[in-house]
Amino acid sequence: MVDVRYREYKILLRADKFFAASQFQAFWEIAASIAEKNKVKVTTNKDGFHRLVREVLFYDTPNFDLYRNAFILRKRTFYEDGWPRNDHELTVKFRHTDLEKAAAADMSPRIIHGLTKIKFKEELLPLKDQLGGMRSLYSHNCVLTSPNIVLNQGLENIAQVFPPMANIDIHPQSSIHLVNNVAVEEIQVNAGSFDFGHGLAANATVAIWRNRASETSLIGEFAFQAKFKSYDAVHVKAKERADHFYRAVQMNAPDWVALGTTKTAMVYGIGNSGPQLEE
């Protein structure tokens, strides 16, 4: 079975907290203080509050069949000095609460144009209805970086590249469109890192997602991700310290935390009840 190589802890943040650029640093200072109180070493990056801007687009069938079947199809465009880079990032995810089902999905693309990375990670999310808890989703990802990414084709074309999508019980020529016609502007800072000891360290980000059309903020996120060679090799005490810190952030900054959704679910739910997916 494919081994988990990443653990990514995510806490969604209330959009109304990001009323100014200074709020990225304001939250980071709160998180850093909580870390220090819990014996977690904190490093703030020299350029940690330089804001990176990306456009994020989700694609799916009109009935959200990909999302309903635990797939996410996302395109990111990175900007430098206001101009888009030539290369785009296409991410295809299969996410499931069952480790074995997530690991079994073969996310290797059959046609490769550009740089390809396969990532299998455990995503840690708060409980849906209360602070201080955590739950796991296992995410099997393929990330393609290429200047030639076309997504306004049928599901059949996408499934030729990613065969697991062919198992979705819909017509193979079902069309793929931009989800809810929403273009997300993602503003992110790579604020710093946390060291949990015993060789376990995690890079941390703070971000806000905005609807470009309406210029309204959708949701924020605090995340930190650790990478390792083997899940079994992660030291028990380091893992416990990371888990404890994750819970402590929720409990000690409750006025920042947004429960009951994810960034992707927020986009899918705009203007309608949204599909139901275990997230």
pLDDT of 32 over the 60 cut: yes
Angle at 182 between CA 12 and CA 76, to 5 degrees: 70
- For 214, the token pair is 């309406």
Max Cα distance, the chain (Å)? 55
Phi-psi region of 134 (alpha: psi -120 to 50; beta: other; left: phi over 0): beta
- For 227, the token pair is 């990478």
Between 167 and 12, whose confidence is greater? 12
C-alpha 46/C-alpha 206 separation (Å) is 15
Strands 135-146 and 184-195 turn out to be: unpaired
Domain boundaries, the chain: 6-268
Mean pLDDT of the chain: 89
Provide Rg for the chain, Cα atoms.
Answer: 19
pLDDT band at 150 (very low <50, low <70, confident <90, very high): low
Q: Tokens 């059309």 map to which residue?
A: 213
Segment (H or E) for 160: helix 155-161
pLDDT band at 126 (very low <50, low <70, confident <90, very high): very high
Of the candidates 164, 120, 160, 157, the one whose C-alpha atom is nearest the C-alpha of residue 142 is 120
Phi, psi of 50 (to 5 degrees): -75, 125
pTM to 2 decimals? 0.91
pLDDT of residue 215: 85
- Residues in CB range of 230: below 8 A, 6 or more apart: 3, 5
In a 10 Å sphere around its CB, with 0-12 CB exposed, 13-18 middle and 19+ buried, how is residue 215 labelled?
exposed
